[in-house]
Chains A and B, each alone.
Chain A
Amino acid sequence: MSDVRDAGFDDWLDALESGDPYYLECPEGHGSLPPRRVCLECGATDLEQRPLPDAGELETFTITHVPTPAFEDDAPYATAVADFGPVRVTGQVVGIDLEEVETGLTVEPDVITSETDGERVVAFRPR
């Protein structure tokens, strides 16, 4: 991984770390995540930052036992898609025993670092 930032994405992680996570909203109210210039639903190009809802709900999850090399020391870990209302987000479920992870679990977003390479990872903590 290079040291060059990914504009939009790294800014979003910064915001999440400082407690002000956001999503992008078009004039019609459709949500999306950066870096995005065009609304997926309606094609609007004037997207505004809005506060991400505090809580999401796990919609589906898996326990990954065979990771890519970037997560070799992290496995096994839970990966989930969580629904925050205007957007869904993919992340790792932390702060809970893997056996306890279940769909419908209410979570809040967080940032952790990979045990393997120290890169930042989107995470979900039970709320």
Chain B
Amino acid sequence: MSDVRVAGVGLTSFGNTPERTGRDLFAEASIEAFDDSGVPRDDVEAVLYGNFMGELSEHQGHQGPLMAEAAGVHAPATRYESACASGGMAVREAVKRVRNGENDVLLVGGTERMTNLGTGGATEALAIAADDLWEVRAGMTFPGAYALMAKAYFEEFGGEHEDLAHIAVKNHENAVPNEKAQYRSEIDVADVLEAPQVASPLGLYDSCPISDGAAALVITSESYAEEHDLDAPVAITGSGQGGDRMALQDREYLARSPAARSAGEEAYADADVTADDVDFAEVHDCFTIAEVLALEALDLESTGEGIAAARDGRTTADGDHPINLSGGLKAKGHPVGATGVSQVAEVTSLLRGDHANSDHVADATTALTHNAGGTVASAVVHVLEVVA
């Protein structure tokens, strides 16, 4: 089985650019990824592309071929939709294709245009990742869903809003040197605690922003990379996917993420590593509580202890296992369909040593990405390692 190499990465700045079309955003990200890889567009055999709310935000379905055009690629193209895990699922499909010998060169990407919808429109669009009949029609929003999980976590394991605030503070701090991040300003615990409530106990600073942005990767087989003498030292060595019931009310656990656990177990086994081997990770922190649930599901923290990880310094930039050195969804931004792809791009740069925060993980060889859809009814995890 061939290693799957990340030959090039590209990201737009994440942020508030309501006038920019999805195709324009993805064109920019893909140009950067091709330039970074040195791979000619003509060699791309397929485009795998993640997007969630294109029908609502741009009145645009069938985005695969549109985005292949935007990237200047003449190849079959498919869109992957799995809510906020759409981008990660596109990456997973690329890994499978290279491994089974179907393809040697793939353009993998994701984009979301969100800010043009406004806060109400974006809140409504995000809500369709939940069960429409039994959750959305009861007035549940996405922040509301994570608030239900946060409250359930506090009830079961303890902890309070102030613990969550440390996660927001950490991720904002990490975003400061990241020029692609949406929020590059430090905040403190008091800012988080005093911010307006969105859905109690979660406030404005517990929530990721509404973002526009795109991410792209040029993925190749090991043999293609070696044959073409590419500078591609990072490989995706493990991939896993997990699932859970759609609605919170039908779940066994309200304060755990079994889908992320099974995705993580599969990815660890696939890469033949354990959680102890993971030097750092990018996890899906759409809300502060989401980072806690992710760390515990991935065995990076014990169950019930993830709440204190940021407060106690285990997950800060100079901690045992830094989490979300990019700034995470919380501060870097969360253009939904781009997020899973951007996590792989950030981890690749961090491992290569060309990221603004690479100095914090100078000796790192193994890292992980975790991308979740909905209230983690879908989860996809990848292990990345330095192999060359």
Give A residues with C-beta under 8 Å from B.
6, 9, 32-33, 35, 40, 59-72, 74, 77, 79-81, 87-92, 103, 114, 119-122
Most buried by A among B121, B133, B139: B139
Interface contact A60-B254, CB-CB below 8 Å: yes
A66's contact among B151, B198, B201, B254, by CB below 8 Å, is which?
Answer: B198
Bound together, the chains give a CA A59 to CA B155 distance in angstroms of 9
**Minimum distance in angstroms from B53 CB to a CB of chain A:** 13
Give 5 A-B contacts (CB < 8 Å), ordered by A residue.
Answer: A60-B149, A68-B124, A69-B121, A90-B135, A120-B137
Interface contact A66-B137, CB-CB below 8 Å: no
The yes or no answer to B119 lying at the interface (CB within 8 A) is yes
Interface contact A121-B138, CB-CB below 8 Å: yes
Interface contact B124-A62, CB-CB below 8 Å: no
Interface contact B200-A90, CB-CB below 8 Å: no
Bound together, the chains give a CA A118 to CA B245 distance in angstroms of 29
Which of B6-14, B32-40, B140-148 contacts its partner?
Answer: B140-148
Interface contact A89-B249, CB-CB below 8 Å: yes
A6's contact among B133, B201, B250, by CB below 8 Å, is which?
Answer: B133
> Chain B residues near A60 (CB, 8 Å)?
148-149, 151-152, 155, 254
Chain B residue with minimal CB distance to A116? B139
Query: Given contacts A87-B249, A88-B250, are A62 and B148 in contact (CB under 8 A)?
Result: yes
Total contacts A to B, CB within 8 angstroms? Answer: 105
The yes or no answer to B247 lying at the interface (CB within 8 A) is yes
Interface contact B138-A72, CB-CB below 8 Å: no
The yes or no answer to B123 lying at the interface (CB within 8 A) is yes
**Minimum distance in angstroms from B314 CB to a CB of chain A:** 27
Give B residues with C-beta under 8 Å from A.
119-121, 123-124, 127, 133-141, 143-144, 147-149, 151-152, 155, 196-202, 245, 247-250, 254
**Minimum distance in angstroms from B379 CB to a CB of chain A:** 19
> Chain A residues near B254 (CB, 8 Å)?
59-60, 81
Interface SS of B by simple majority? helix
Interface contact B250-A67, CB-CB below 8 Å: no
A40's contact among B123, B147, B200, B250, by CB below 8 Å, is which?
Answer: B250
- Assuming A32-B250, A64-B143, what are 19 further A-B pairs, CB within 8 angstroms? A9-B133, A60-B155, A62-B151, A64-B139, A64-B140, A64-B144, A68-B120, A69-B120, A69-B123, A77-B139, A79-B139, A79-B144, A87-B249, A88-B250, A90-B248, A90-B249, A114-B139, A121-B138, A122-B137
Bound together, the chains give a CA A80 to CA B123 distance in angstroms of 19
Interface contact A90-B247, CB-CB below 8 Å: yes
Bound together, the chains give a CA A37 to CA B274 distance in angstroms of 40
Query: Given contacts A40-B245, A68-B123, A90-B249, are A63 and B140 in contact (CB under 8 A)?
Result: no
Query: Given contacts A40-B245, A40-B250, A62-B144, are A90 and B138 in contact (CB under 8 A)?
Result: yes
Bound together, the chains give a CA A61 to CA B149 distance in angstroms of 9
Chain A residue with minimal CB distance to B142? A68
**Minimum distance in angstroms from A111 CB to a CB of chain B:** 11
> Chain A residues near B133 (CB, 8 Å)?
6, 9, 35
> Chain B residues near A61 (CB, 8 Å)?
148, 151
Query: Given contacts A69-B124, A77-B139, A90-B140, are A59 and B152 in contact (CB under 8 A)?
Result: yes
Interface contact A122-B138, CB-CB below 8 Å: yes
Most buried by B among A62, A70, A120: A62
Bound together, the chains give a CA A121 to CA B136 distance in angstroms of 10
Chain B residue with minimal CB distance to A33? B134
> Chain A residues near B120 (CB, 8 Å)?
68-69, 72
Interface contact A64-B141, CB-CB below 8 Å: yes
**Minimum distance in angstroms from A113 CB to a CB of chain B:** 12
B198's contact among A32, A65, A72, A77, by CB below 8 Å, is which?
Answer: A65
Interface contact A67-B139, CB-CB below 8 Å: yes
Bound together, the chains give a CA A88 to CA B250 distance in angstroms of 7
> Chain B residues near A74 (CB, 8 Å)?
139
**Minimum distance in angstroms from A15 CB to a CB of chain B:** 15
Bound together, the chains give a CA A120 to CA B133 distance in angstroms of 11
Bound together, the chains give a CA A9 to CA B137 distance in angstroms of 11
> Chain B residues near A91 (CB, 8 Å)?
138
Bound together, the chains give a CA A67 to CA B136 distance in angstroms of 10
**Minimum distance in angstroms from B170 CB to a CB of chain A:** 24
> Chain B residues near A119 (CB, 8 Å)?
137
A92's contact among B138, B155, B247, by CB below 8 Å, is which?
Answer: B138
Interface contact A65-B134, CB-CB below 8 Å: no
Chain A residue with minimal CB distance to B136? A68
Interface contact B249-A70, CB-CB below 8 Å: no
> Chain B residues near A81 (CB, 8 Å)?
148, 248-249, 254
